[in-house]
Structure 1
Amino acid sequence: MVPTAPDRSPSGPDRPVVVLVDAYTSGKYLPPEFAALGADLVHVQSTPEFMPSMPAPDLSPYRAALVHQDVDRTVAQLAACRPVAVLAGQEPGVDLADVLAERLGVPANGTALSAARRDKYVMIETLRAAGLRCADQARSGDVDRLVAWARARGSWPVVVKPLRSAAGDSVFVCRDTAEVRQAAEAVLAGETIYQESNHEALVQSYLHGTEYVVDMVSRDGRRHLCGVWEYQKRLLPSGRNIYDRERLLAHDEGPAPALAAYVSAALDALGVRHGPTHAEVIMTPEGPALVEVGTRIAGNMHPGFHDACAGGNQATLTALAYLDPETFHARHADRSYRRRAHAVCCTTPTTQEGLVEAVDEAAVAAIRALPTVHGLNLKLGPGQYLRPTVDLYTSTLRVFLLSEDPGALARDLERLGELKDQVYRLRDRQESLL
Structure 2
Amino acid sequence: MSTSRRPVAVVVDGYSAGNFYPAAFAAQGADVVHVQSTPELIPTMAPPDLTAYAENIVCADEGKLVEILRTYEPLCVIAGQESCVPLADRLSEALGVPSNGSRLSTARRDKYEMIEALRGAGVRCASQFKSGDPAALVKWADDRGRYPVVIKPLSSAASDGVFICDSSEEVRAAAESVLSAQDIFGFSNTEILVQSYLAGTEYIVDTVSCDGERYVCGVWQYEKTLLASGKNIYNRDILVDPDSDLVASLVSYVDEVLAALGVRWGPAHAEVIMTDEGPALVEIGTRLNGNINAPFHDVCLGGNQAQLSAMAYAQPDEFRARHGGSVYRKLQSAVVYNTPTELDGVVASVDEAVVERIKSLPSVFFTAVKVKPGARLKPTVDLLTSSLRVYLTAPAEEQLTADYERVRALKDSVYRLA
Alignment match of 1:119 (pick from 92, 99, 110):
110
Q: Which moved more, 1:29-38 or 1:280-289?
A: 29-38
CA contact (8 A) 2:203 2:271 kept: yes
Q: Does 1:50 align with 2:41?
A: yes
Deviation string, structure 1 residues 223-245 (Cα, Å, up to 9, x no partner): 00101000001111110111111
**CA distance in 2 between partners of 1:105 and 1:356 (Å):** 49
Q: Which residue identity is paired with 2:136?
A: R
TM-fit CA distance, 1:358: 2.0
Do structure 1's residue 219 and structure 2's residue 226 form an aligned pair?
A: no
Secondary structure at the counterpart of residue 352 of structure 1: coil
Q: 1 CA distance for matches of 2:37 and 2:227?
A: 34
Structure 1 moving runs of 4+ over 6 Å? none
Q: Do residues 92 (structure 1) and 117 (structure 2) align?
A: no
**Could you tell me which of 138, 141, 145 is aligned with 2:136?**
145
Query: Is 1:362 aligned with 2:353?
Result: yes
Tell me if 1:24 matches 2:24. no
**Shift in Å at residue 12 of structure 1?**
3.4
Counterpart of 1:173 (choices 140, 164, 171) is 164
Equivalent in the alignment of 2:173: 182
Equivalent residue for 1:209? 200
Q: What SS is found at the alignment partner of 1:125?
A: helix
Work out the CA distance in 2 between the residues paired with 1:382 and 1:66: 33
**What residue is the counterpart of 1:390 in the other structure?**
381
Tell me what 1:276 maps to. 267
Gaps in structure 1 of 5+ consecutive residues: 1-10, 428-434
Q: What SS does the corresponding residue of 1:233 show, helix, strand or coil?
A: strand
In the alignment, is the contact (CA less than 8 A) between 2:83 and 2:155 conserved in 1?
no
Residue 419 of structure 1: CA displacement? 0.8
Hey, what's the Cα distance between the residues in 2 that align with 1:308 and 1:192? 34
The correspondence of residues 24-423 of structure 1 with structure 2, limited to 5 A, is: 24-423=15-414
In the TM superposition, residue 198 of structure 1 has moved relative to its aligned partner by: 0.6
1:351 Cα offset (Å): 1.0
Within 2, Cα distance between the matches of 1:12 and 1:68?
Answer: 21
- Distance of 1:379 and 1:158 partners within structure 2: 31
Q: What letter corresponds to residue 248 of structure 2 in structure 1?
A: P
Question: Displacement, 1:423?
Answer: 1.4
Q: Secondary structure at the match of 1:204?
A: strand
**Structure 2: gaps of 5 or more residues:** none
User: What SS does the corresponding residue of 1:30 show, helix, strand or coil?
Assistant: helix
Computed over aligned residues only, the root mean square deviation of the Cα atoms, in angstroms, reads: 1.1
Q: Partner of 1:293: helix, strand, or coil?
A: strand
- Matched residues in 2 for 1:264 and 1:378: separation? 36
> Is the contact between residue 83 and residue 109 of structure 2 (CA under 8 Å) also seen in structure 1?
no
Q: What is the deviation of 1:254? A: 4.0
Per-residue deviation, residues 184-229 of structure 1 (Å, max 9, x unmatched): 1111111100011111010000001000000000010100010100
* SS of match in other structure, 1:60: helix
Alpha-carbon separation, structure 1, partners of 2:129 and 2:52: 43
CA distance in 2, matches of 1:322, 1:163: 29
Counterpart CA distance in 2 for 1:424 and 1:18 is 40
Q: Which moved more, 1:192-201 or 1:11-20?
A: 11-20
SS at 2:48's partner residue?
coil
Q: Distance in 2 between matches of 1:57 and 1:33?
A: 15
1:384 to partner: Cα distance: 2.0
Once the 2 structures are TM-superposed, how far is the Cα of residue 84 of structure 1 from its aligned partner? 1.1
Count, aligned residues:
417
Residue 137 of structure 1 aligns with an amino acid whose one-letter code is Q
Separation in structure 1 between the aligned mates of residue 305 and residue 17 of structure 2, nearest angstrom: 10
**C-alpha separation in 2, matches of 1:396 and 1:44:** 30
Q: C-alpha displacement at 1:13, in angstroms?
A: 3.7
Give the Cα separation in 2 of the matches to 1:135 and 1:226.
Answer: 26
How many Å separate the matches in 2 of 1:155 and 1:378?
Answer: 41
Q: What CA distance in whole angstroms lies between the structure 2 residues aligned with 1:14 and 1:109?
A: 27
How far apart, CA to CA, are the structure 2 residues paired with 1:175 and 1:255?
Answer: 29
Secondary structure of 2:241 counterpart: coil
Question: Which letter does structure 1 place at the counterpart of 2:106?
Answer: A
Q: Secondary structure at the match of 1:214?
A: strand
Please state how far the C-alpha of 1:55 moved relative to its aligned partner.
1.9
Deviation per CA, 1:340-387: give whole Å up to 9, x if none. Answer: 111101011111122222221101100001111111112122222211
Question: Does 360-369 or 88-97 show the bigger shift?
Answer: 88-97
